[in-house]
Amino acid sequence: MTDRTRHDEITHSRAGDVFVNPVTGERAVIVCGTADSTDGSLSVHLFVAPGGAVAAEHYHPQLVERFRVLSGHLAVSVEGRRSHMGPGDELSIPPGVIHDWWNAGETEAEVLVEVTPGRRFELMVGSLFGLARDGKVNAKGMPNLLQLAVMASEFDDTVRFVKPSPIVQKLLFAVLAPLGRLLGYRPYYAEYLVPAEHIEPERSVLDMVRSHHAAPRTALA
């Protein structure tokens, strides 16, 4: 049985679950988890500390990621074009679009993030957050090369990093991923998908997510 067929045995996220990444400065409160949604999406109230940032520039081959800034400011890079987002600003990232983001302000930023589909995304990100809490990532939130190779090979349909180049990654990970698995590295970790804390999501954010799911979906530009 492959990892891709086993992962449904692992805990699905639920509203109120809290996950923290002390390295990237992110605190994620699940508003609508994959156990709650009817379409497999994942909605997160994300708190980003000043200087906090996603681990690396990347793109998603098969999923859509949507951002809505609730407070504070984000700097974003989309296909190399930089801009700033403030309260009320929204951004939708279709599959295959290279992007990066970070907290550009001096105060905590709050962002509503929706990922569709969300299941494999939460397995990967939840595991990265857990590795960070255990001190197993570098200053940018990335694990060692063997762990990265195992995760990247498993989640090549979910996220791909821009550097190194795709051909280098393909060759390097093809060699390192089997070695990493032999040494005990796993693509995701069930223990990291169990939240350490559970709180009630903010009512205003919960209502925002509910109204969005109740509204008719429009095609992305």
Assess whether pLDDT exceeds 70 at residue 8: no
The confidence band for 218, taking pLDDT boundaries of 50, 70 and 90, is very low
The residues spanned by each domain of the chain are 3-214
The confidence band for 165, taking pLDDT boundaries of 50, 70 and 90, is confident
Give the number of other Cβ atoms within 10 Å of residue 129's Cβ: 24
The three-state DSSP-derived secondary structure of 17-55 is EEEEECCCCEEEEEEECCCCCCCCCEEEEEEECCCCECC
Tokens linked to 217: 């979906």
Assess whether pLDDT exceeds 80 at residue 6: no
**What kind of architecture, by CATH, is found in domain 3-214?**
Sandwich (2.60)
- Average the pLDDT over each of 49-58, 108-117, 180-189 and give the range with the smallest value: 49-58
Instruction: Work out the angle at residue 136's Cα, subtended by the Cα atoms of residues 177 and 193, and round it to the nearest 5 degrees.
Output: 80
pLDDT for 17: 97
